Amino acid sequence: MTLHAASREALDLAENRLGEVLAAAGTDPATVGDELLSVVALLDREIGLRRAVADGSATPEARIGLVRGILAGKVSEPALQVLDSVAGSRWSSPRELTDGLEALGRSALLTSAEKSGNIDAVEDQLFRVTRIVAGAPELERALSDLTAPAEAKRTLVRNLFADKVDVVTETLVEQVVLRAKGRGVANALERLVQLAAARRERSVAQVTSASALSDEQQARLSEKLNALYGRQLALHVEVDPSLGGGLVVRVGDEVIDGSTAGRIDALRRRLAG
């Protein structure tokens, strides 16, 4: 998510407020996250309201009063306190306000996974959902279809993943799909994987292997990659027999191709040159 300076400052303030709210006794991070994302959906639908909440010519008090007037009694007080910060700050554009609010909702949901001890499972599930979508172009097109009703997309996600993933995973995936702008669902899901990994202060290493790796092999690979990159990496492994043998490791934009297929391709390129 790319934000201009004013929006970046506004999001920083709102993130601090979110942290204070979630640290308070009795606050349920999952509820706050769900409510913030429901407000994102409202602002996406109501263009006039979105512009009014982001209107820099109005006083912060007026914008806060507008939001509370509409949402008081419909979302919890902890969520309203976060929305006070969002509405009371200056954003570079209405779209950046909703993108920032979406980031806050996601953060609250990931906090709930942390507190429940499920962050590892959520990260792994997000990775596997990402690979499923990335590997099925027709599915990604269906999930990205601008003409499809939101409820149809939500139903598709639930039919595919309900009862198979944590509720936080399902909510995050639904949010990505419902805000899809015609393309990039798999890329947006990948950013969720990165966010979940960051909760454990780890980057993600996507490993594709020609055959299944044992726990011992994964441990050795993890140790070598951690040493190579100088930081902890979360290992996400999938099997692709078409590699012929070996591994392909992707960390961010960097690819280490140690597969048989990769070596053959490299040889072909050298011969062609």
pLDDT in tens, 120-157: 899 999 999 999 998 999 999 999 888 889 899 999 99
pLDDT of 178 above 80:
yes
At residue 273, the pLDDT reads: 59
Distance of CA 145 to the CA centre of its chain: 19
State the Cα–Cα distance between residues 194 and 252, nearest whole angstrom.
Answer: 9
pLDDT of 267 above 80:
no
At residue 163, the pLDDT reads: 86
Distance of CA 111 to the CA centre of its chain: 13
Eight-class DSSP state of 249: E
Which of 12-16, 148-152, 253-257 has the lowest average pLDDT?
253-257
At residue 183, the pLDDT reads: 62
State the Cα–Cα distance between residues 45 and 82, nearest whole angstrom.
Answer: 20
Amino acid 109 reads L
Reported residue count of the chain is 273
Mean pLDDT along residues 226-230: 78
Spell out the residues 6+ positions from residue 197 whose beta carbon is closer than 8 angstroms to its own.
123, 203, 204, 234
At residue 2, the pLDDT reads: 77
Q: At what angle do helices 185-198 and 94-116 cross, to 10 degrees?
A: 50
Amino acid 41 reads A
Share of the chain above pLDDT 70, in %: 93
Q: What is the mean pLDDT of the chain?
A: 89
pLDDT of 70 above 90:
yes
pLDDT of 197 above 90:
no
State the Cα–Cα distance between residues 175 and 105, nearest whole angstrom.
Answer: 10
Q: What tokens does 18 get?
A: 């979110």
- The 10s digit of each residue's pLDDT in 198-223 is 877 666 788 888 888 888 888 888 88
Q: Considering only CA atoms, which of 5, 3, 31 is closest in space to residue 18?
A: 31
State the Cα–Cα distance between residues 135 and 137, nearest whole angstrom.
Answer: 6
At residue 184, the pLDDT reads: 79
Q: Considering only CA atoms, which of 54, 59, 193 is closest in space to residue 126?
A: 193
Choose between 212 and 61: higher pLDDT: 61
Eight-class DSSP state of 242: G
Question: 37: pLDDT confidence band, cut at 50, 70 and 90?
Answer: very high
Alpha helices in 46-76 (DSSP H): 47-53, 60-71
State the Cα–Cα distance between residues 172 and 110, nearest whole angstrom.
Answer: 9
State the Cα–Cα distance between residues 144 and 153, nearest whole angstrom.
Answer: 9
DSSP string, 155-177: HHHHHHHTTTS-HHHHHHHHHHH
Q: What are the backbone dihedrals phi and psi of residue 204, each rounded to the nearest 5 degrees, phi first?
A: -105, 130
Distance of CA 152 to the CA centre of its chain: 21
Choose between 272 and 195: higher pLDDT: 195
201: three-class secondary structure by DSSP: coil
State the Cα–Cα distance between residues 146 and 55, nearest whole angstrom.
Answer: 27
pLDDT of 249 above 80:
yes
pLDDT of 182 above 70:
no
Q: What are the backbone dihedrals phi and psi of residue 211, each rounded to the nearest 5 degrees, phi first?
A: -145, 165
Share of the chain above pLDDT 90, in %: 55
Distances, alpha carbon 123 to alpha carbons 33, 202, 212, in Å: 17, 11, 20
At residue 203, the pLDDT reads: 67
